[in-house]
Amino acid sequence: MGIVQRQSLRNTIISYIGLAIGFANTTLVLPRLLAPAQIGLTTTLMGLATLGAQFAAFGFASTALRYFPYFRDPARNHSGFLALLLGGPLLGFAAVAGLMWAGKTALLSRYATDNALLGPNYGVAIGLMFCVLFISLQDAYLKAQFHSAFSSFVQEIGVRLLILAAAAAYAAHWLTFEGFVLAYLGAYALATLALTAYLAAIDELQLRPSRAVLRVRPLRELLAYGGFALLSNISGTLLLTVDALMVGAKLNLSAAGVYAIAFNISTALTLPFRALYKTAYSLIAEYWKEGAMDKMAEFYRRTTRLNTLVGCYLALGIGLNLDFVYGLIQRPAYAVGASAVLLLLLGRLADGITGVNGLIVVTSPRYRFDLIFNLGLTVSIVVLNALLIPRLGLAGAALSNAIALVGLNGLRTWFVWRTYGLQPFDGRIGRILAVAAAAGTAVWVLPPLSNLWLNLLLRGGLLTALYAGGLLLLNTGPEVAAGAALLRRKAGR
């Protein structure tokens, strides 16, 4: 097995473990240990840090992945590429940090009701920005060197366990909340140092600058690509951060904390989609290379059907059992986010059902249109939040998110169909949605049981039976039929 295959396998294992730890942390454990305003504070600090780091990096992480092969030359320290990779964003960090500090009063005025909580911790956002920035740059450099597994472990598992330990120490009164916030920052600082130490251990911490780096590829070309990457990636960052930031600014940090937990609960729906996209990206790129449009069309239809099958089931499973999820948290203050969860699930389900349209666009000859779609998403979600949060509160932020995702994917699906003649829908998609609606309605009208676990078993069992039975009866999902046949064969042994 080659180094790329080994790293890919390790990354896959680490990613799934990390996702499980992250989901348990942010959805079940931390809300039991921290009040909504405290969750809202850490979410706000991290959101500011992530946005700031994105601008400070100016797309250099993507530039490293794209251009490092041109610089690769261990005998010459890769022509000083690492010094360039870190040096440019370091200047960006200084500029963004300066702007954040100069604008402190103006920004805090947006959080007037929570100045006593956010104000003393404002500097932590700048510290987090530095850590997030350099973690992303070192991670990109390690990926370019085919040494990504350790970085994945540090980010996906190490940081999350350290934050969990800090929260447990606060709950046990070993730390004050101010101490917890510093420990939160410390977790990312340790991750930054760990990646630096790892680079040194593999003899890749080559920080000596060299003029030769400017002769390998023109600096203008690197900056142009970085700017394109920044604009392309910013929508994804905003999609993850802007809702909670605007909820905190327009409502309060407690509302931001409640929304953050609702957002985290809804992410469970995206896990199978993410797993699929990791494989789909390279496969679709190969179809473009071969000009195999028939294969791409079939893959587009098959993945859309599979995402619809799995997505509807998970969305219903989560939405119909929110009492159980919030019951595990054991803090009633978070349960007011239930309506936000349902709206977020709707947007994420639409995002999954539309299949791999985004991957088709970004790997196509017209990949630059993906930038237009992403910028449109960025503008729409900010404008919708500004309009709907003051009127609808948490539900307004969730509705903004859902509308933006549905609109974006509708446009991208139309673009792929109009430009390349590819569209993923057939009659089976409609039948799957009809079965899901019928099964969900039947479970929803059930009177709830007083015992949360029995309620989960009853609702989950009935949903599974009705959903799977309906799909088999209508011969809608060949994957379901194949699974049922396999179970029958095993039962007959």
pLDDT digit string, tens, across residues 348-397: 999 988 878 888 887 788 878 888 888 888 889 899 999 999 999 999 99
For the ranges 56-60, 118-122, 225-229, which has the lowest average pLDDT? 225-229
- In a domain, residue 246? The reply is no
- In a domain, residue 489? The reply is no
Q: What is the residue type of 189?
A: A
Tokens 């446009």 found at: 411
Band (4; pLDDT cuts 50, 70, 90): very low
Q: Which residues are CB-contacts of 7 (< 8 A; sequence separation ≥ 6)?
A: 146, 147, 148, 149
- In a domain, residue 408? The reply is no
Tokens 């604008």 found at: 103
Q: Which two tokens mark 426?
A: 């057939």
Supply the pLDDT for residue 489. Answer: 56
Please state whether the predicted TM-score (pTM) of the whole model is above 0.85. Answer: yes
Q: How many CB atoms lie within 10 A of CB 84?
A: 22
Band (486; pLDDT cuts 50, 70, 90): very low
- In a domain, residue 202? The reply is yes
Contact indicator for 254, 84 with CB cutoff of 8 Å: no
- In a domain, residue 183? The reply is yes
- In a domain, residue 421? The reply is no
Number of domains in the chain: 1
- The Cα–Cα gap between 71 and 61 comes to 15
DSSP of 245-279: HHHHHHT-HHHHHHHHHHHHHHGGGGHHHHHHHHH
For the ranges 9-23, 318-332, 362-376, which has the lowest average pLDDT? 9-23
Supply the pLDDT for residue 10. Answer: 63
The domain of 178 spans 1-227
For the ranges 75-79, 88-92, 156-160, 460-464, which has the lowest average pLDDT? 75-79
Tokens 């673009």 found at: 415
- In a domain, residue 8? The reply is yes
Give CA separation, 185 vs 94, 157, 182, in Å: 18, 16, 5
CA of residue 268 relative to chain centroid, distance? 11
- In a domain, residue 44? The reply is yes
- The Cα–Cα gap between 87 and 213 comes to 12
pLDDT (mean) for 117-142:
91
Q: What is the largest CA-CA distance in the chain?
A: 72
Contact indicator for 347, 404 with CB cutoff of 8 Å: yes
pLDDT digit string, tens, across residues 214-256: 666 777 877 787 777 787 777 778 877 888 889 999 999 999 9
Torsion over CA of 152, 153, 156 and 160, rounded to 10 degrees? Answer: -150
- The Cα–Cα gap between 164 and 158 comes to 10
Give CA separation, 322 vs 12, 25, 269, 319, in Å: 29, 17, 13, 6
